[in-house]
Structure 1
Amino acid sequence: MSPPGAIEVEAVTDTSGVTIPDPLSVPFKSNEIYGRRRKTDKSQWGVAAPANSVNFRSQSHDHKPMAKRWDGHISNEATIRKGNSLKQAAKYLGKPGLISLGGGLPSSEYFPFEQLSLKVPTIGHFSESETKDSGVTITAGKHDLAEGKAIFDISTAFNYGQGSGSAQLLRWITEHTEMVHNPPYSDWGCTMTVGSTSALDMALRMLSKPGDMMLSEEYTFATAVETALPMGVRIAGIPMDSEGLLPEAMDSILSNWDAKARNASKPHLLYTVPSGQNPTGATQGADRRRAIYRVCQKHNIYILEDEPYYFLQMQPYTGPNAPDIPPPTSHAEFLKSLVPSLLSMDVDGRVMRLDSFSKVLSPGSRIGWITASEQIIKTYQKHADVSTQGPAGMSQLILWKLLDEHWGHPGFFDWLIHIRMEYTRRRDVMLNACAKYLPTEVVSWAPPMAGMFHWLKIEHTKHPDYPVKSIEKIEEEIFLRVIHHGALVMRGSWFYANADEKHNTLFFRATYAAAPAEKIEEAIRRLGEALRVEFKLETQEKNGNGKA
C-alpha cells in the first residue's frame, strides 16, 4: 500500500534565497525546501570542489550554543594528521579562466560513459511491481553541468572528489538532517562516509587508543566488537532490558570504575544503537535516551550514535489477527512519530551520529554520513582524505538523481512511510508465527518496535541435560538442531560485547528482513519443531506425565 499524498506539489527554483522558519514547526509543500536554499557559488559543483555542509543549512543556528571541545578525547594519531595537502589546491579550481596543470584529475574525455539511465519508482507507487509497470527513467549525461541541464553529471561525479563527498549530495544530506534532527547547538555539520562500519572504524581511531575500554550494550553489533578489538579497544557491556541500555547500570559502572581490576582507565566513549538495536531489536524511548545522555554528561562520555534502523521504526504491535494500524497521514505526523534522536538532544556536541542509506535504499551504495561538531567533522575529513576518500562518485550521482532531482525530500519521506509499513507487516508475520508455533514454556520474546531483528530468549535451565551440559553446549546443540530442521537463526553468544564476562542467559536472533512472508512462517514452524525435539517436549506431550 502506498502512503497518502500528504503534501501538495509546488514547483520552485533551486536557487531562490528566502528567510525560512523552522522546517519542523510549520507544514511545508513538496520541494519547498528548494525555495529555501541559500544562493550558492556555481564553482562548488565542479570536479573535486571542496564542500562544507554549514553552507547548506536552510536556517540560522547562530542563536544556539557552541559545541564543547573534545581535545582530551581525540587520539594522538588524529591530532597529528594534517590531511591531504594536494587537495588544498582544489578550492582554486572554480576560478573563472583558470587553466589547471596541478591536480592529477583525468580528463572526462577518457571516461567510457556517455549516459547513465535508471528506472525508479514514482512517488506513491513504490512497490516492485508498480515500479516495473509505471516507474520512470531518469538520466544523467556526461556533460549536464557544462550544458546547463543539471548541477551534477558523469564528468564530475566519476572523477576524483573530496573526502566530504560531493557538494551536490552533501547539500541534500544536510537539509535532511536539519529537518529531522535540528541539532540544538550551532556549529554542527555533516560529512559523507562509505558506510557506518567504515565510519565506526575511523571514529575509534580518532577517539580511542590501545588499552582503552568503550561502553556498549551487553549484546551488541558483532562487527563493532570485531572492529575495536584489533585496535586494542575492549568493550564493557552494560546490562539491558526490553528498552535497551540501562542508564542506571551505566552510571553505576562508571561511578565505581576500578581501573586496576579492569586493567583500563575509565571509559570516555559509548557506542550505542538506540533504535531496533542489533541484535536485540530493543528501541530506547525518548525518556530512556534523555537519561542516557544525562549520564554521559555526568561522566563526560562521548557518544557514537549508530542509527541504521532509525527509519525502520514500525507501527505498534497489537497482537495476532489484530487490524492493521493505518500509516501516518502526513509527513509532519510521520516525523512526530519517530523517537527523538540523541543528536536532537545534544546540547553539548557530544554525539557523533552515524547514518546510512544501507537499510533504507541499498547496502551496495556504500554511502552514509556522520553528523557532529565542526571540530569532529574536520578531524574526520582529514582522515577520509588520506584513506577512504569520499564514497564512489557513481553511487553519489545515482542517489542524487533519485533523492534530489526526482523524489525530493517529501518523496523520500513518502518512501520511508512505505517501508515502515512493509517492515511492520513482515514483523507481524514473524510475531504471529511465533505465537502459533513456538513452545512458550521454553521460549519468550518482546515485540520489536524498530529494525530488522527478533530476539528470542530460551529457558536453558529447562533443557533436560542442564546443568550437566553448560549453557554454551546447549546453545550449540540448539543451533545445530534448528539447522537440521531446515532453518537458521543466529546464536546470541556471537553478539557478546565482552566474551570474557559471564553470561547466564541464552538468546537467539531471527530476522524478518530477508525472506518472504510464507517462508518466514515456515522457518518459525521449523524452529518450533526443533525446540520441541531438543527439549523433549514432544515426548512430554505424548506421555502426559511431564517427564521425558
Structure 2
Amino acid sequence: MGLMRHAPGGPMVWYCFVWCGVVRCDMVLSDSAWPNRYSTVGRGAEAWYPGIVSISGPHFANAEPQSTTIVGSGAAAASNRAVATRSSDLGTTAQEPLTVVGDGDGDDDAQSCRSSRATPSPATSGSLTLRPPCRWSLHHVDVGLRAPMVACLVPSRASPGLPRLRPHFRRPRRGRPPAVRRRRTSHRRLDQASTPVDPSGALSWQSAIQAATRQLVPMRGILGLAHTVLLLQYILLHDTARKEPNMVYFQEEAAPLDLSHHLSRVTKNRTPSSIKNYYRFFKISGIGNLASGLPNASYFPFDTLEAEVARPSRWDASPDEYHPDAEESSLVVVPKAATNSGGDPAKRVDIATALQYGTAGGYPPLLSWVRRFMLDVLAPNVPYEPGPDVILSCGSTDGVFKLVDLLYDSWLPERGDPVSERPGLLTELFVFNNVLPVVEPHGIQIVTVEIDGEGILAKGPGSLEDVLRNWDPARGKRPHVLYTVTVGHNPTGGVQSLQRKRDIYSVCRAFDIIIIEDEPYWYLQFPSAAAAEAQSRHTAESLAVKRESDEELLGYAGTRRQRSGHSFIDSLVPSFLSLDIDGRVIRLDTLSKTMAPGCRIGWITAQPKFIERLERITEISTQQPSGFAQAMVVQLLVGQNPDALHAFADLPAHKRNAFSGWKMDGWVHWLAGLRSVYERRAARMCSILDQGTHMVVKKPSSSSSSRSSPGKRTQLLSFDWPRGGMFVWLRVHFEEHPLWMARGPTMEALDGPAMAAAMLAFMARKPHLVLPSPGTMFGATPTVVKERAWQNLRLCFTAESEENIDACSRRFTNAVHKFWLIDEVDVMEDLVREQRAS
C-alpha cells in the first residue's frame, strides 16, 4: 500500500493500492477536477474539496448489489446533500447502497451521515466511481471477499452520534471471512446506519486511526498506515449477510437524540425538589437525622401486611380447558422493620420504608425489579446507549397525564393564543376514552389517523405519513406526538405487526414525532386467534399477526433481537422500544390488567432525559404510588425478606412453607397463563357471535306495516376476532334494518345514531339484559362520532365469569336478532327517547 498527501491548502491527491487475496481495489482521491470551494455551514468558513473516488476490482463486475461505506472528513450538511444528488447522475441500472459518514470534527457533521445510491460502472472489468463534493482525509478501501484485512473506526464512547466499531482482527478460517464481534447484544447494521447526533464530543480522527493502527500493524506490518487509512469490511448488505452468515458487521449504539425541543416550557423550567434531593444524605450509615420531617416508623399502626397470594402456575399457559385449584396459594408477609438487607435500600422491604415518604422514582425494591424486567427481559435490545430508564406511576392514565405535562404547553384561545400555535396529538380514529379528557382541557386538538385490522396506517390515504406531509398550518402546529395502543388496541382489539411498527417509526423519524406507546394489554397477544377464526368461519387465515423467523427478527436499523430468556416474551410482537434508535419512544405499562386495577401501579420507560423531567413532575404531584400496594407487589415478586420468615413459625402446618416469591420466571409464567385464560374467553365469545351475524330479514311494504315481501339473508354484524387485549369490536349494519331512514311521528328519519341509541335501550330490557359499550364512547373527534362511531359496539370478554361468557354472548346475539324484527316506527322512537333520556 502506498500513500501520498500534499500540504493542506493545495491540491490533495491520494492513492491507495492494496493486494488482498483475489481482490485488488484501487482508490484515488483527487481535487484536481474542480477548483476549491468554501462552505459557511457549521462553525465557520471551511475549505472543502470536491473529489473523485474510484474503486475498482473484479468484485464490482457482479450484477448483484452490494454496499459500500465511505468515511469522510469535514463534510458539511450542504455538501452531503450534494452527495446524494451527484450519485444519482452516474447512470447505470445496477444500483449499490452507499453510506457516507462524517468525521466528527465539528458541528457541521451533525447531518453528515446520509444514505445515497451510487452505481457501479457497466464496464466488464468492474469499477465504481463516485464524485462526492467534499474533501476526504479518511479512505475506505473494500477488499472483503475471502481473506480481507479489517480495521474499524473507533471514536470514543463520548461521541454520541457517530458509529463506533470495535476493532477485531484475526486470521480467518479457510474459506470464511473474518467477523467483527462485540460484547453487547443489541446490534445495528452499518449499511442501515442512522443520521448521527451532535458529534461534538468525539475524539479526533487522528486518535481513532492511531488506535486502529496499533492493532493493524502487528498483523499486517507491510501496511504503512500513518494515521490516515482505515480498511472496512465490504459486504454489509442484508441479503449478502444471509448468504454469508459469518460476514455480519455491527456498530455500537449511539446516545439517544436530544429531543428536549419537544418539552413544554413548564417542564423545562422545573427544578429538583430541595427536600427530595436531601434524601440522599439519609443513607449515610449512623447519621443523626435531624433534618427530615419524617414521622417515626415505630408509631405506624400497622405491624405487618399479609396476603394470601396465588402461585404463578395457577393458570396453565395453554388456551385449552383448565381446572384451577383455588386453594393453591401462599402467604406473603411484609414485616414492621427489616434488619437483614445489608443497607441496600433496593433489598429492604418492610413497613418502615414502604409507608414512609419516598423519592419520586418509586419504592427502591420495586423500581429495581421493574428496571431489571424492562431492560433485561421485555426490551433487552433497545438500540441506544446507555438504554432507557424507568419511573413508577399510578397507572397508565396517570402516565398520560404526566406526559401531557411533559410535552405540551397549554393553548388557551381566551388569553389570545393564536390558532397557528395550537398543538396537536395524533391518535387512531377510535381511542381509549380516558385520553381525551386529559388532553382536551389543554387546548390540544386531536388529529386522527386511518386504521385497518392492525391499527394505524403508516402510508396511504389518511395514513400517518399522509396526515403529516399534507398538514395545513392554518389548523395549528403540526402534531409532534403520536399516542397509540399497539397490542390489543382499545377498542378494536388489533395488534400491530413488527413490520407495521417499523413503517410507523420510519415516518415518525422523518417528521420528528414522539411516540407514546401505551401497552396495558401487551402480554395479552392471542397467537391462535387467526386459526380459530378461520376454523369458525371455514375460511383461510386472515389478518394473522406475522411471527418473524430468526432471520427476520431485525429492528429498524437491522438490529437483531436479543432473546429475553423466556419463550413467552420472545413469542410476542416486540415493543417500539426495540426499534428506538433515537430515543423518541415513551412506553406506558401498568399492573391494572395483569394484577389488579386497584394497585394503581404502573411505570414509564423512556430515554433518561425524559425520565429525569418526569421525576420533577412527580415530585410535586402524585409522588410515588401507594406504599401499601408497592410493598405487597414487590414482596409477591421477589419473595420474603429473611426477617419476614419468622412470621411463618407459628402458622398452621399447611401454611408454614416459606414463600420464596414468584421471581422473574414465575412472573413471566403468570403472564403466559393469564394470556391463555383471556384467549380462551375471546374464542368462546367470538364463536357464538359468528353464529349470529346473519338472519333472514323481510322488508316491510311500508314504514309502519309488518306485511312484507319474502326475506333475504342479511348481514347484521361483522367483526374480526381480536388478536389481543380484552375486547371485540363489532360493526352493526344498521343500514340493513327494515326501518332504516323510516319517517315517524316525531322523527324525520331513523338514521344511524338514532338506531344505535334504540338498540342500546332495547338490549338493557328484559329478557336480554346485556350492556355493550357504544362506539360513540371511543370516537376520537366529534366528526368521527357523528360519521362513523355510531356503527360500532365494543364487547368485553373479561369482566364476566368464564361460565357466564356463553350466556351473555347468546343473549347479545338474540337481542340483535329481535331488534331486527321491530317493524313499528313508534316502537323505535320510544326506544330512542328512552336511551337519550337516561
1:206 corresponds in structure 2 to 406
Give the alignment of 1:476-515 within 5 angstroms: 476-484=757-765, 485-501=768-784, 503-504=787-788, 506-515=791-800
Contact map agreement 2:727 2:794 (CA 8 A) in 1: yes
Contact map agreement 1:438 1:525 (CA 8 A) in 2: no
SS of structure 2 residue aligned to 1:310: coil
Give me the whole-angstrom Cα distance separating, in 1, the residues matched to 2:392 and 2:678: 27
2:756 corresponds in structure 1 to 475
Please, which of 410, 413, 420 is the counterpart of residue 668 of structure 2?
413
1:444 corresponds in structure 2 to 718
Contact map agreement 1:121 1:130 (CA 8 A) in 2: no
SS of structure 2 residue aligned to 1:240: coil
Post-superposition offset of 1:227: 1.1
Contact map agreement 2:533 2:721 (CA 8 A) in 1: no
Q: What are the Cα deviations for residues 304-351 of structure 1, in whole angstroms up to 9, with x where unaligned? A: 00000001112312337969xxxxxx9632122100111111110001
Give me the whole-angstrom Cα distance separating, in 2, the residues matched to 1:430 and 1:109: 52
1:519 corresponds in structure 2 to 804
Contact map agreement 1:269 1:303 (CA 8 A) in 2: yes
Give me the whole-angstrom Cα distance separating, in 2, the residues matched to 1:493 and 1:266: 26
Post-superposition offset of 1:504: 3.6
Q: Match for 1:458: what amino acid?
A: V
Q: Match for 2:289: what amino acid?
A: S
Q: Match for 2:575: what amino acid?
A: S
State percent identity of aligned pairs: 30
Summarize the Cα distance change of 1:487–1:229 in structure 2 as closer, same or farther, 3 Å threshold: same
Contact map agreement 2:303 2:336 (CA 8 A) in 1: yes
Q: Match for 1:167: what amino acid?
A: P
Post-superposition offset of 1:449: 1.1
Q: What are the Cα deviations for residues 494-542 of structure 1, in whole angstroms up to 9, with x where unaligned? A: 1011113452461100000111233222222222222223222899xxx
Give me the whole-angstrom Cα distance separating, in 1, the residues matched to 2:323 and 2:441: 45
Post-superposition offset of 1:390: 0.4
Contact map agreement 1:274 1:284 (CA 8 A) in 2: yes
Post-superposition offset of 1:24: 10
Please, which of 399, 421, 424 is the counterpart of residue 633 of structure 2?
399
Give the alignment of 1:310-349 within 5 angstroms: 310-317=522-529, 318-319=531-532, 332-349=566-583
Q: Match for 1:503: what amino acid?
A: E
1:463 corresponds in structure 2 to 737
Contact map agreement 1:195 1:366 (CA 8 A) in 2: yes
Q: What are the Cα deviations for residues 53-94 of structure 1, in whole angstroms up to 9, with x where unaligned? A: xxxxxxxxx942111112211001111111321111100111
Q: What are the Cα deviations for residues 348-396 of structure 1, in whole angstroms up to 9, with x where unaligned? A: 0001000111100111111110110111000000000010000111111
Give the alignment of 1:196-345 within 5 angstroms: 196-209=396-409, 210=411, 211-248=422-459, 249-260=463-474, 262=475, 264-317=476-529, 318-319=531-532, 332-345=566-579
TM-score (norm 1): 0.82
Post-superposition offset of 1:146: 5.6
1:535 corresponds in structure 2 to 820
Summarize the Cα distance change of 1:84–1:410 in structure 2 as closer, same or farther, 3 Å threshold: same
2:379 corresponds in structure 1 to 181
1:53 corresponds in structure 2 to none
Give me the whole-angstrom Cα distance separating, in 1, the residues matched to 2:587 and 2:778: 22
Post-superposition offset of 1:259: 2.0
Summarize the Cα distance change of 1:231–1:145 in structure 2 as closer, same or farther, 3 Å threshold: farther
Summarize the Cα distance change of 1:358–1:21 in structure 2 as closer, same or farther, 3 Å threshold: farther
Give me the whole-angstrom Cα distance separating, in 1, the residues matched to 2:621 and 2:694: 50
Post-superposition offset of 1:470: 2.3
Give the alignment of 1:63-74 within 5 angstroms: 63-74=252-263
Q: Match for 2:372: what amino acid?
A: E
SS of structure 2 residue aligned to 1:245: coil
Please, which of 130, 139, 157 is the counterpart of residue 354 of structure 2?
157
Contact map agreement 2:359 2:624 (CA 8 A) in 1: yes
In the alignment, structure 1 residue 357 sits paired with structure 2 residue 591: yes
Give me the whole-angstrom Cα distance separating, in 2, the residues matched to 1:335 and 1:200: 25
Summarize the Cα distance change of 1:123–1:460 in structure 2 as closer, same or farther, 3 Å threshold: closer
In the alignment, structure 2 segments of 5+ residues that lack a partner are 1-181, 188-250, 317-321, 412-421, 537-563, 640-660, 696-714, 742-748, 825-838
Give me the whole-angstrom Cα distance separating, in 2, the residues matched to 1:528 and 1:77: 51
In the alignment, structure 1 segments of 5+ residues that lack a partner are 1-19, 26-61, 324-329, 540-548
Q: What are the Cα deviations for residues 375-430 of structure 1, in whole angstroms up to 9, with x where unaligned? A: 10000000000100001111111111111220110000110111011011111110
Q: Match for 2:296: what amino acid?
A: S
Give me the whole-angstrom Cα distance separating, in 1, the residues matched to 2:325 and 2:817: 43
Post-superposition offset of 1:97: 1.8
Post-superposition offset of 1:482: 1.6
Q: Match for 2:350: what amino acid?
A: D
Contact map agreement 1:438 1:524 (CA 8 A) in 2: no
2:24 corresponds in structure 1 to none
Alignment RMSD: 2.6
In the alignment, structure 1 residue 427 sits paired with structure 2 residue 624: no
Summarize the Cα distance change of 1:77–1:294 in structure 2 as closer, same or farther, 3 Å threshold: same
Contact map agreement 1:315 1:420 (CA 8 A) in 2: no
TM-score (norm 2): 0.54
SS of structure 2 residue aligned to 1:222: coil
Q: Which has the higher helix share?
A: 1
Give me the whole-angstrom Cα distance separating, in 1, the residues matched to 2:622 and 2:312: 33
Give me the whole-angstrom Cα distance separating, in 1, the residues matched to 2:488 and 2:430: 13
Summarize the Cα distance change of 1:96–1:111 in structure 2 as closer, same or farther, 3 Å threshold: same
1:12 corresponds in structure 2 to none
Contact map agreement 1:138 1:401 (CA 8 A) in 2: yes
Give me the whole-angstrom Cα distance separating, in 2, the residues matched to 1:125 and 1:71: 45
Contact map agreement 1:439 1:531 (CA 8 A) in 2: no
Give me the whole-angstrom Cα distance separating, in 1, the residues matched to 2:456 and 2:444: 20
Summarize the Cα distance change of 1:158–1:233 in structure 2 as closer, same or farther, 3 Å threshold: same
In the alignment, structure 1 residue 143 sits paired with structure 2 residue 143: no
Post-superposition offset of 1:461: 1.6
Q: Match for 1:425: what amino acid?
A: R
Give me the whole-angstrom Cα distance separating, in 1, the residues matched to 2:466 and 2:304: 59
Give me the whole-angstrom Cα distance separating, in 2, the residues matched to 1:268 and 1:294: 14
Summarize the Cα distance change of 1:251–1:491 in structure 2 as closer, same or farther, 3 Å threshold: same
Give me the whole-angstrom Cα distance separating, in 1, the residues matched to 2:618 and 2:279: 16
Between structure 1 and structure 2, the one with the greater Rg is 2
Q: Match for 1:435: what amino acid?
A: D
Post-superposition offset of 1:463: 2.2
Q: How many residues align?
A: 477
2:52 corresponds in structure 1 to none
| Higher RCO (Cα < 8 Å, 6 or more apart) | 1
SS of structure 1 residue aligned to 2:588: strand
